[in-house]
């Protein structure tokens, strides 16, 4: 009997038990699908990265002696959906059993589950063997609608997987080193920022296919894709990170600079971040492999990498990444509809071209279009914060984030965007709305210096729009946030203002919102 095993584009895990044995009766299928290239408007580099990585994976499997069918958009163009393609392949290859790995996305998981119900051949489903927590373990940690807190989950994960632990206690005697981290970059720090390791993967064939099939994309294309698309490149990037970025990872985790890019240098856009998210999300690297490599580098560094740096990094992977996945699966499909703050405004059109006078937003958006990448604090505190305080519809915000980033897959994109950054889940993922005025951006970046707007002003025509928007937002949602211990303080400052001052601020906010396209 013949078995077809489907490998989705984000299931490129070479360590999976599937590949431990070889059999001529097993046919692996890796397919470029119209449905996947078009369910949202993706960044062109993102489609290129997935397609190139799938091709490399198919080749590697084949070289290892497996039977592999790699299909391009040309081969799959006659099939409107994945089920249609599979049905056709079952007949063509005389398949009697269908196997797949659990998709991480609700849409695909539902599609394949429904497909299997209607099948005449037998089917089976496997774990992806990628995450620290297996799929079936998630319900032990996460409950629908419940407010979960990262810190609590993170400590459990550290203990359970014995990561940076000594005799059952956290290494260094504390779980969290945030207070040692989060420095601003001073002018003198800029010279030390490493030039990112980039690759030059030839994607001309893929670009031609996207053109031929009229796949609508966003962002800047390059014939040489800089993202890692195979295991060797991904491991090289991991080694590069451990050597050049990890020593300052936590310290400058929240810092932002526009200076180097303005000087025309091709560094400064990812600072000390790893840029491993695509390789991990496509499962080219496992999170455990990344964490183990980083901890080994820390241990061998003889103090050059401090505990605060490695702890900050480990927290992102065994903490945040596994955490948002748990939130996603406990709350889908309802999560995708949540709009707790009832935000309704449209996303300004300059989100698609970066043409705004607000320097922070112009930088974050232009960089996203150029590299399909922005680091966490740009996503959360620049673009995310603007959408939050301007009351942009979370459906549109989700759609933008899901399209534009190299690492954007719904299970990780949505809890971060709709939840953490837009508070549209009412606090399931985070304990407060990450709303900020221009002052936060001034503190953490060098964007405000040469901005057309003045960050020190609130009500004038040239005032930083974020200042009035911030107060407008806080005032609008007073009933919701005034009782929250993490935002209570803010209101005492608002209440200290005279009625006249309050009116002037709200008037400026209205003016900003009325002219949102021209900011």
The residue within the footprint of ligand FAD, chosen from 93, 259, 376, 454 (CB under 6 A), is 376
488-496 and 465-476 are packed helices; what angle lies between their axes, rounded to 10 degrees?
A: 110
- In degrees, rounded to 5, the angle at the alpha carbon of residue 360 between the alpha carbons of residues 357 and 364 is 110
Nearest approach, Cβ of 380 to ligand FAD (angstroms)? 4
Q: Which of 120, 125, 79 is nearest to 99 (CA)?
A: 125
Residues in a beta bridge with 126 = 101
Output the CA torsion 299→303→306→307 (10° steps): 50
Nearest approach, Cβ of 322 to ligand FAD (angstroms)? 8
Residues in a beta bridge with 224 = 202
Closest CB to ligand FAD among 18 and 423? 423
In 121-245 the beta strands, taken as DSSP E runs, fall at 122-126, 165-166, 169-170, 201-202, 217-218, 224-225
The residue within the footprint of ligand FAD, chosen from 324, 372, 444, 455 (CB under 6 A), is 324
d(CA 143, CA 300): 40
Nearest approach, Cβ of 211 to ligand FAD (angstroms)? 26
Nearest approach, Cβ of 353 to ligand FAD (angstroms)? 19
Q: Give the residue carrying structure tokens 């002219």.
A: 515
Backbone phi, then psi, for 218, in 5-degree steps? -125, 165
Tokens of 148: 């979960």
The residue within the footprint of ligand FAD, chosen from 71, 203, 276, 372 (CB under 6 A), is 276
- Near ligand FAD in 402-441, by CB under 6 A: 405, 407-408, 412-413, 416-417, 420-421
Closest CB to ligand FAD among 384 and 465? 384
The three-class DSSP label of residue 165 is strand
d(CA 201, CA 514): 45
Q: What is the DSSP letter of 262?
A: H
Name the one range near ligand FAD by CB under 6 A: 188-196, 214-222, 276-284, 439-447.
276-284
Contact between 135 and ligand FAD (CB under 6 A)? no
Nearest approach, Cβ of 283 to ligand FAD (angstroms)? 11
- 49 in the Ramachandran plot: left (φ > 0), alpha (ψ -120 to 50) or beta? alpha
Contact between 254 and ligand FAD (CB under 6 A)? no
Contact between 320 and ligand FAD (CB under 6 A)? yes
Name the one range near ligand FAD by CB under 6 A: 17-25, 170-178, 354-362, 400-408.
400-408
d(CA 3, CA 311): 44
Cis upstream peptide for 333 (omega within 30°):
yes
Size of the site for ligand FAD (CB under 6 A): 28
Contact between 275 and ligand FAD (CB under 6 A)? yes
Name the one range near ligand FAD by CB under 6 A: 163-171, 201-209, 230-238, 376-384.
376-384
The residue within the footprint of ligand FAD, chosen from 321, 359, 363, 477 (CB under 6 A), is 321
Contact between 40 and ligand FAD (CB under 6 A)? no
Contact between 360 and ligand FAD (CB under 6 A)? no
Name the one range near ligand FAD by CB under 6 A: 5-13, 37-45, 313-321, 484-492.
313-321
Nearest approach, Cβ of 490 to ligand FAD (angstroms)? 21
The three-class DSSP label of residue 482 is coil
The three-class DSSP label of residue 217 is strand
Q: Which of 456, 270, 266 is nearest to 364 (CA)?
A: 270
Name the one range near ligand FAD by CB under 6 A: 102-110, 351-359, 378-386, 449-457.
378-386
Contact between 49 and ligand FAD (CB under 6 A)? no
**Residue 515 neighbours by CB under 8 Å, 6+ apart:** none
Nearest approach, Cβ of 397 to ligand FAD (angstroms)? 8
Nearest approach, Cβ of 421 to ligand FAD (angstroms)? 4
By the criterion CB under 6 A, which residues form the site for ligand FAD?
A: 270, 273-277, 280-281, 316-317, 320-321, 324, 375-376, 379-380, 384, 401, 405, 407-408, 412-413, 416-417, 420-421
């Amino acid at each position: 009997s013949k078995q077809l095993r489907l490998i989705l584009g984000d299931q490129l895990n070479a360590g999976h038990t599937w590949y431990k044995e070889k059999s001529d009766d097993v046919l692996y299928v890796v397919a470029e699908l119209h449905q996947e290239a078009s369910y949202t408007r993706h960044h062109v580099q993102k489609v290129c990265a997935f397609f190139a990585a799938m091709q490399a994976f198919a080749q590697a499997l084949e070289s290892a002696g497996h039977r592999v069918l790699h299909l391009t958009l040309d081969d799959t163009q006659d099939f409107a959906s994945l089920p249609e393609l599979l049905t056709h392949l079952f007949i063509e290859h005389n398949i009697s059993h269908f196997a797949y790995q659990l998709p991480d996305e609700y849409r695909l998981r539902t599609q394949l589950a429904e497909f299997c119900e209607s099948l005449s051949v037998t089917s089976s489903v496997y774990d992806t063997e990628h995450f620290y927590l297996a799929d079936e373990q998630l319900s032990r940690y996460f409950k629908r609608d419940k407010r979960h807190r990262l810190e609590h989950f993170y400590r459990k994960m550290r203990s359970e997987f014995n990561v940076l632990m000594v005799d059952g206690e956290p290494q260094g005697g504390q779980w969290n080193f945030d207070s040692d981290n989060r420095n601003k970059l001073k002018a003198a720090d800029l010279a030390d920022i490493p030039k990112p390791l980039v690759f030059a993967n030839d994607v001309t064939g893929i670009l031609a296919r996207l053109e031929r099939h009229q796949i609508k994309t966003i962002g800047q294309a390059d014939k040489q894709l800089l993202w890692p698309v195979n295991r060797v490149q991904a491991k090289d990037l991991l080694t590069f990170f451990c050597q050049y970025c990890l020593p300052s990872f936590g310290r400058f985790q929240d810092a932002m600079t526009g200076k180097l890019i303005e000087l025309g240098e091709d560094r400064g856009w990812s600072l000390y971040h790893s840029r491993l998210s695509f390789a991990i999300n496509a499962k080219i690297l496992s999170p455990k492999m990344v964490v183990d490599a980083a901890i080994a580098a820390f241990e061998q560094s003889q103090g050059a990498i401090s505990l605060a740096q490695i702890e900050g990094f480990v927290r992102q992977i065994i903490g945040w990444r596994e955490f948002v996945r748990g939130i996603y699966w406990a709350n889908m499909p309802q999560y995708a509809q949540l709009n707790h703050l009832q935000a309704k405004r449209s996303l300004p059109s300059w989100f698609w071209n970066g043409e705004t006078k607000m320097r922070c937003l112009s930088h974050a958006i232009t960089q996203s279009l150029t590299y399909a990448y922005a680091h966490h604090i740009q996503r959360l505190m620049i673009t995310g914060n603007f959408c939050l305080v301007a009351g942009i519809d979370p459906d549109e915000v989700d759609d933008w984030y899901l399209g534009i980033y190299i690492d954007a897959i719904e299970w990780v994109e949505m809890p971060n965007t709709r939840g953490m950054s837009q508070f549209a889940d009412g606090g399931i993922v985070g304990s407060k709305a990450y709303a900020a005025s221009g002052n936060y951006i001034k503190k953490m970046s060098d964007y405000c210096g040469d901005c057309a707007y003045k960050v020190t002003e609130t009500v004038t025509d040239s005032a930083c729009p974020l200042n009035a928007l911030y107060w407008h937002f806080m005032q609008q949602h007073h009933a919701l946030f005034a009782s929250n211990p993490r935002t209570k303080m803010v209101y005492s400052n608002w209440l200290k203002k005279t009625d006249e001052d309050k009116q002037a601020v709200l008037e400026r906010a209205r003016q900003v919102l009325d002219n949102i396209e021209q900011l």
